[in-house]
A and B are shown apart, each in its own frame.
Chain A
Amino acid sequence: MSESLDSGAPEPSPEKSYVFDDPKNVQRLLRIFFASCAVLFLIDAIPLVAGLLAEPDAPSALDYKHHAHYGVEHWMGFYAIYGLVGCVALVLLAKVLRKIVMRPESYYGD
């Protein structure tokens, strides 16, 4: 996934061209990645539906979440949203932290 963000333009130099030098490849990888995210999000509809249809005392085999310990885990896409929101918050808070703790490289004088 990480390499998907390399949007280096093709170089005019005679140097060999590498896979992510072509923005088309980067776009392709990004599209595959976004599609996988969508699939992983939608998959969570399965236990939701299976949980609704099954008898209360006989959990369906498709309800892979019936082992979950907390109520929120049953929400559709809970883990996906937790990861997304968590990481955005992580980066935004880290930017605030940087304002407080960042100093020039020579700060300690060695």
Chain B
Amino acid sequence: MIEIPPALVFLLGALFIAFLPGKIRSLFCVLVPVAGAANLAWLYFGPGLGVYCEFEYLDFTLTLMRFDKLALLFCVLFHLAAFAGMIFAFGVTDRVQQVAATVYAGSALGAVCAGDLLTLLIWWEVLALSSLFLIWARRTRESRRAGMRYFTMQLLSGLLLFNGIALQYLGTGSLAFEAVTLGSTWDASSIGTWCLFLGFGVKCGFPLLHTWITDGYPAGTPTGSVFLSGFTTKVAIYAMARSFVGEDLLITIGAAMAVFPIFYAVIENDLRRVLGYSMINQIGFMCVGIGIGTDLAVNGALAHAFNDVFFKGLLFMAMGAVLLRTGTVNGSDLGGLYKSMPKTTVLCMVGAASISAFPLFSGFASKSMIMVAAAEEHHTVVFFLLLFAAAGVFHHAGIKIPFFAFFAHDSKRRVAEAPRYMLIAMSLMAIVCIFNGTFPQWGLYRLLPLPNDYDPYDAFHVITQLQILFFSALAFAVLMLTKVYPPELRSVNIDADWIVRKPGKAVAMFFVRPVLAIGERVAEYERWLPGVLRMGHFKRFARLTLLEETVLLVVLLLLAFLLVVVLA
């Protein structure tokens, strides 16, 4: 019997999805993760953990599947996330989104199973390309531009990774994807480790490199952003946990990531962008955990990554449902939706309670591990910064999201409740949130790769956590009642992407203009090409435009290459 890598199930599924008609396609999208889960269960209970699917390519040994406890955790996570996401997107009939989402989930699985850096790189790039279509599929001018900016950052991450791998190979002659230490000299492998670190860091959303999250996620389709929130950053956290456990620099960077976004989140109007900032904040906690490097801290970081997919996914789903029904997720234009979307409201509040780490909800079982580890290792400043960040999370994600969308000032929007399949998907996410929070020992903690005897439920943690949460809410209540709280305003807030979007754009246009002129001249001769090769032909086929087509072609070539490599 041959072992099939989890990613391959999704890629083959995507091939079918590309050609299946209508409703069958939607159903098939849901079945792919189910088939994947069956394969995963067979792998685990059959051949068991181990290294599979190794083959020689050129002079390298590529390992498609390193199936250990760390990889298993993320495999389980991604299958569940893909399943819930596909149910949420059941009403989507857009072929591009369905194929992109399936390939995207598959490439995330490929990356976490990759046993060497070259295999990781390939999946890293497929991850970037496939996710782009979840933004572009919204087919607005804004989403196309945001998508390009998103993709540029993903390319930067890929290039850094590629350079890191090349330098590592030059320096050590090895492509091993394992723990490394950041170098402090100027030789190839030292610089290589920094390239790897930054390449992973871009996908983690390190400060100043984070804007693809807050810029790209609000631009995705209502269902696309749910997928986006689940995979890319978690793959990056996986890579960090594989390579840079105990790296002190991560503690500092993580603390910065946990703190700075909450200020932006308070004044941001687009509620999906608020979730983007809150995502950076949560990843900050995970980076701190990986940086501390003790068993408890790393387990905490991984458990939190697991939980984040569900509570953040649930919040993105709730906002996706609001966007679907009302056409907007701007806090300034919403309010009072609890009257027309009561079920979505309740489910959103489960997500909000989970991200805020209320006892019995998932965030409590994982965030407290990182906090305790920080205190145990005497990172005093970091501990109190994280405590502040934890209070801030409740403030901007736990209260602000449900309050401004569903309560607050009644916007008089009377819309239909979210479609049934969306409610089912959200309920699944909510069940995982509550289960992981209430019975962490039964599922979540068993999946953790390192020894773990942590129990979050003692009087100290429960009482102090409730105190900090209730008094954060008190601050919100008092500031609202006294009208000190900043109102939701239609606006944009300048962030690090300003550099690219204002001065950077001017510089780029200086160089791009001549190229564009040449492109226009070439286009004049397009009518001389045989029909099949004309861009117009593709456009009718996929309703995409020039730019998307080019990238689509690259994706297809990469996939074809992968399939050839795998089958050869």
Contact = CB atoms under 8 A, between A and B. Distances in A.
12 contacts: A2-B473, A4-B477, A5-B403, A6-B410, A40-B470, A79-B464, A90-B388, A90-B391, A92-B484, A95-B486, A100-B494, A102-B492
A3 B376 contact: no
A1 B473 contact: yes
A43 B459 CA distance: 11
Given A43-B463, A105-B490, A84 B336 contact: no
A58 interface: no
Contacts of B481: 5
Given A64-B463, A83-B391, A91-B266, A2 B402 contact: yes
B475 A84 contact: yes
Interface of B: 141-142, 145, 262-264, 266-267, 336, 338-339, 375-376, 380, 383, 387-388, 391-392, 395, 398-399, 402-403, 406-410, 458-460, 463-481, 484-486, 489-495, 501-502
Interface residues of A, number: 52
A86 B486 CA distance: 16
B396 to A, nearest CB: 8
A53 interface: no
Contact of A6 (B391, B408, B470): B408
A103 B477 contact: no
Contacts of A105: 490-492
Interface in A8-62: 8, 18, 20, 30, 33-34, 36-37, 40-41, 43-44
A87 B467 contact: no
Contacts of A100: 494
A5 B469 contact: no
Contacts of B502: 108
A77 B467 contact: yes
A94 B267 contact: yes
Contacts of A90: 262-263, 266, 388, 391-392, 395
Given A86-B391, A94-B266, A104-B492, 12 more contacts: A1-B399, A1-B470, A3-B338, A70-B380, A83-B391, A83-B469, A84-B475, A90-B263, A91-B266, A91-B475, A101-B267, A104-B491
Contacts of A30: 477
Contacts of B485: 91
Contacts of B391: 82-83, 86-87, 90
Contact of A68 (B408, B409, B460, B492): B460
Contacts of B473: 1-2, 33
A63 B502 CA distance: 57
Interface of A: 1-6, 8, 18, 20, 30, 33-34, 36-37, 40-41, 43-44, 64-65, 67-70, 73, 77, 79-84, 86-88, 90-95, 97-98, 100-105, 107-108, 110
Contacts of A81: 471
B345 to A, nearest CB: 9
A65 to B, nearest CB: 6
Among B264, B398, B473, B484: residue with most chain A CB under 10 A: B473
A87 B141 CA distance: 37
A96 to B, nearest CB: 9
A87 B403 CA distance: 16
A92 B266 CA distance: 10
Given A81-B471, A91-B479, A102 B464 contact: no
A37 B267 contact: no
Contact of B492 (A6, A41, A79, A103): A103
A3 B470 CA distance: 14
A5 B399 CA distance: 11
Contact of B263 (A36, A64, A97, A110): A97
Nearest to A98: B267
Contact of A67 (B395, B399, B402, B460): B460
Contact of B474 (A37, A73, A103): A37
A32 to B, nearest CB: 11
A82 B389 CA distance: 11
Closest 3 CB pairs of A and B: A87-B475, A64-B459, A83-B468
Nearest to B502: A108
B466 A40 contact: yes
Most-contacted residue by chain B among A30, A67, A98 (CB, 10 A):
A98
B87 to A, nearest CB: 28
Contacts of B142: 110
A78 to B, nearest CB: 8
Nearest to A5: B480
A102 B493 contact: yes
Contacts of A4: 477
Contacts of B408: 5-6
A1 B477 contact: yes
A84 B469 CA distance: 9
